[in-house]
Amino acid sequence: MCPDGGTTGLLRTKWGSRWPSIRTSSTTFLDNLADLGATFLAANIVIGDKLGLYKELAASGPCSSEELAQRTGTTERYVREWLRGQAAGGYVTYEPATEGYHLSEEQAFALAQEDSPAFMPGAFQMATSAVKDEPRIAEAFRTGAGVGWHEHHQDLFQGCERFFRPGYKANLVAAWLPALGGVVAKLEAGARVADIGCGHGASTIILAQSFPNSSFVGFDYHEPSIEWARKTAADAGVAERCRFEVASAADFPGTGYDLVACFDCLHDMGDPIGAATHVLDSLARDGTWLIVEPFANDRVEDNLNPVGRVFYNASTLICTPASLSQEGGLGLGAQAGEGRLRDVVLEGGFTRFHRATETPFNLVFEARP
């Protein structure tokens, strides 16, 4: 063990004697290096996804850069460099004997199967979209101004839908709704449901497909997302029972809803307390408000882990500026935690609030009038 905690030895082993005098904490240096590689890799993941490189690799099995380029209508020299970067990151498997590349089952599950619960390219689409806005966010640090959800590159909206949908498919009907008192029975019999901040409508459409006796309306203040959701609902054959309208959480129309849902959007709002009050007014007397938020513990020190790292950093670039751009500007952030969210919901006038269930990435709350 070296006196610096092993860094020098580790670097010598990895890169020979060119790094003899580095004195730093091994965690910090190697983590920084891994992060740097990941940052460059992120854009290449989006490229591989957009150009169909992962899907073709998964479909065709082992192939050379020439074959992959030819099958995807791309240029071999770019594909060769891309494949090598992917292999260095462990995203693609390289076979030295044949100089061929393939995706293992696990790699294909995460990179090529759009509906797998581990599908990641949507998340990287969100991340690279956020990186494009770094100059605006840096300026917002100085001025305190916000940057609205609608002001980001469109990859954020599409990436969000593609990243979140598999989680909703896996959990919403199977686990989250059954954790709410009496909601599944109401939905089966025929209920009225509003999905606030619905984005591209992934959650709304899954609900509509699962409960044919119920009617659904998704609201979002972002018009292009609502247009996208309408088209997706039509393509899914549920448009008659699943409408989408442009409206904010503060003024969406309708009353007597049996279920109002907010998926990963309450913390993005400038005035989540005002939203809670409006949700309360819109609910039937025995209605339910389902609130799904990013997983977080109440204490900062308990969120300093890989999940908190993703959420705090995404929140700095996306969620906090979104909230600060709106009236109220509460800036809950994506790691608000149960205690803070309870305060918001009770201040909005609800009398009951509890954590119904959770996943490693989501907290699921039930609020009742």
Ligand X SMILES: C[S@@+](CC[C@H](N)C(=O)[O-])C[C@H]1O[C@@H](n2cnc3c(N)ncnc32)[C@H](O)[C@@H]1O
Order of all β-strands in the sheet with 362-368: 242-246, 215-220, 192-196, 257-263, 283-294, 362-368, 352-358
Phi-psi region of 205 (alpha: psi -120 to 50; beta: other; left: phi over 0): alpha
The answer to whether the CB of 179 falls within 8 A of the CB of 356 is yes
Q: Which residues contact 52 (CB under 8 A, 6 or more apart)?
A: 72
Q: How far is the CB of 227 from ligand X (least distance, A)?
A: 12
CB-wise, 269 or 283, nearer to ligand X?
Answer: 269
CB-wise, 55 or 222, nearer to ligand X?
Answer: 222
Q: How far is the CB of 328 from ligand X (least distance, A)?
A: 9
**What is the chain's alpha carbon radius of gyration, rounded to the nearest angstrom?**
23
Interaxial angle between packed helices 53-60 and 65-72, expressed in degrees from 0 to 180 and rounded to the nearest 10: 120
Q: How far is the CB of 325 from ligand X (least distance, A)?
A: 9
- Distance between alpha carbon 257 and the CA centroid of its chain, in Å? 27
CB-wise, 101 or 162, nearer to ligand X?
Answer: 162
Q: How far is the CB of 269 from ligand X (least distance, A)?
A: 4
Burial 198-222 (b: 16+ CB within 10 A, else e): bbbbbbbbbbbbbbeebebbbbbbb
**Phi, psi values for residue 121, rounded to 5°:** -55, -35
Q: How far is the CB of 255 from ligand X (least distance, A)?
A: 18
Q: Which residues contact 189 (CB under 8 A, 6 or more apart)?
A: 213
Q: How far is the CB of 225 from ligand X (least distance, A)?
A: 5
Q: How far is the CB of 198 from ligand X (least distance, A)?
A: 5
- Distance between alpha carbon 289 and the CA centroid of its chain, in Å? 21
Q: Which residue is nearest to ligand X (CB)?
A: 199
CB-wise, 48 or 201, nearer to ligand X?
Answer: 201
CB-wise, 91 or 221, nearer to ligand X?
Answer: 221
CB-wise, 49 or 264, nearer to ligand X?
Answer: 264
Hey, is 43 helix, strand or coil? helix
CB-wise, 82 or 312, nearer to ligand X?
Answer: 312
Point out which residues bind ligand X (CB under 6 A): 149, 160-161, 164, 197-199, 202-203, 220-222, 225, 248-249, 263-265, 268-269, 322, 326
